[in-house]
Chain A
């Protein structure tokens, strides 16, 4: 495979696809920053086998079609095989045919609705059994079993709600209402939803609203005078970054399930948070999507150090089964599913914009993207 290694000093070029503009920029920008931070760390430590890692970064501007075109450009014009990127499921689905046909490797650092397995993707965000399952039981036990679903109108919320509805029913609960709003929904669009929720007598609002409209949902909730101790908004996607955008007081008491929160107390996380803030500003919080974007670059570099080749067929076997000490704790990539075994945690937002961990798994939870085993996990408070 000598021909694929290039010269001994030529850099390793990798593609990076996160939106810096458009409705998804709030969260995707943090994934971009974490990706670049990890690349910097690798290069400061001498690169991979003496060669620097050089990112080729494009901004798809939160447009699905642009993701496919940028992926095509990366692979065809830039000759790149490894791409870090995508937040929304629609953007992942747009990039999928490109990496599958040209045999690239997409590293996807975002939770998603599961039910997918591409040989050309490494999934480093949570599958439903790693967040929805634990969130559902926690909510039913703590607040009650009448859920109102509010989501953005695209692939992920509908698929994710299909999973949540199924979980909820198996716990004897019910969905008392369901509303989908445009990704560009504004504040006034959420006001009638709040009235419907009040009428429906929900115990929990399960939100799959993503992007900037997340801020409006929570603000409309606060304006409606609901009490998060009685009927919280529970989400799989509202991170420290969205909380910062909506205001700490607005988010206080709301619930999120995630493998990672910035508040985790361990050495690896402390160093990650420190470096992230030093590079991007003291006010910039980390979040679960940024954390996955960060550790996946390190996992890539470790595999590359072994194979010394970025050819997908060469590097992928080195990734599968590998493990890494991530800020969330030790994680590993499952060889059977290409999904990552991650931690399950439930966080409750406090007045400082951070999440207090109210429950967590005692070990990483095996990724089960097709919910074959219903992903039974035991959580300790």
Chain B
């Protein structure tokens, strides 16, 4: 962690940022004023690649890892994704005296918030938190997708097991291991193997 007493002079300290942050591509969409430059500088100290953009483009870039962006009314329309399917971690940047617009905040669905004045500590924590939150959500989404697929495939695997038990006189375990071995040797999913067994059995009648 950065020492809070450290100034924003950009001298040293980058080795203190966790190494996983150093490989990130970050876009900072803030004014080119002193504070905006300070934010970009703090982000660069993580050794991440940082692009400082202003004004806010009509569509934010898609192929980056983290976006720091002023919380402005048009932000939801500028995000390059539909709600629920973010392609980057989003940190909403707010002015010191900006009254929080909770509705706007909800509509942007950011993974973190950064208030002015920026300090080395608040910048780094918002970055780390937003990135972690984004990755966690992504893991959850992929888990749900896999669960959905597994639920559908489950019936197919059951059917394939029954076919193998009938046609090859396997017991249930043998049937399952047969499917599993095929899947591993052909580097395809268990459900794909099961579907192929069910399909070929259909063709054979």
CA–CA, A22 and B87, complex, Å? 29
Does the CB pair B151–A97 fall under 8 Å?
no
A244: interface (CB < 8 Å) = no
Write out the residue numbers on chain A whose beta carbons fall within 8 Å of the beta carbon of B152. 115, 159, 162
A270: interface (CB < 8 Å) = no
B148: interface (CB < 8 Å) = yes
Write out the residue numbers on chain A whose beta carbons fall within 8 Å of the beta carbon of B47. none
B142-157, CB < 8 A from A: 148, 151-152, 155-156
Minimum CB distance partner of B106 in chain A: A102
Minimum CB distance partner of A72 in chain B: B82
Does the CB pair A102–B107 fall under 8 Å?
yes
CA–CA, A141 and B65, complex, Å? 58
A100-B84 contact, Cβ under 8 Å, with A76-B76, A116-B148, A165-B202: yes
Write out the residue numbers on chain B whose beta carbons fall within 8 Å of the beta carbon of A69. 82
- Measured CB to CB, the closest approach of chain B to A69, in angstroms, equals 7
A2: interface (CB < 8 Å) = no
B159: interface (CB < 8 Å) = yes
With beta carbons under 8 angstroms apart, the residue of A76, A97, A115, A371 that contacts B84 is: A97
- Of A97, A98, A370, the most chain B CB neighbours within 10 A belong to A97
Does the CB pair B159–A169 fall under 8 Å?
yes
- Interface size class on chain B is 10 to 19
- Interface size class on chain A is 20 to 34
Does the CB pair A102–B109 fall under 8 Å?
yes
Helix, strand, loop or mixed for chain A's interface?
A: helix
- Measured CB to CB, the closest approach of chain A to B112, in angstroms, equals 16
CA–CA, A188 and B6, complex, Å? 75
A101-B155 contact, Cβ under 8 Å, with A116-B148, A174-B205: no
Does the CB pair B82–A98 fall under 8 Å?
yes
- Measured CB to CB, the closest approach of chain B to A266, in angstroms, equals 36
A13-56, CB < 8 A from B: none
A175: interface (CB < 8 Å) = yes
CA–CA, A116 and B76, complex, Å? 28
A100-121, CB < 8 A from B: 100-102, 115-116
Supply 19 further A-B pairs (C-beta < 8 A) apart from A75-B107, A169-B202: A72-B82, A72-B83, A75-B83, A76-B76, A76-B77, A76-B107, A97-B85, A102-B83, A102-B84, A102-B107, A102-B109, A115-B148, A115-B151, A115-B152, A159-B152, A169-B198, A174-B202, A175-B202, A371-B155
Residues on B facing A (Cβ under 8 Å): 76-77, 82-85, 103, 106-107, 109, 148, 151-152, 155-156, 159, 198, 202, 205
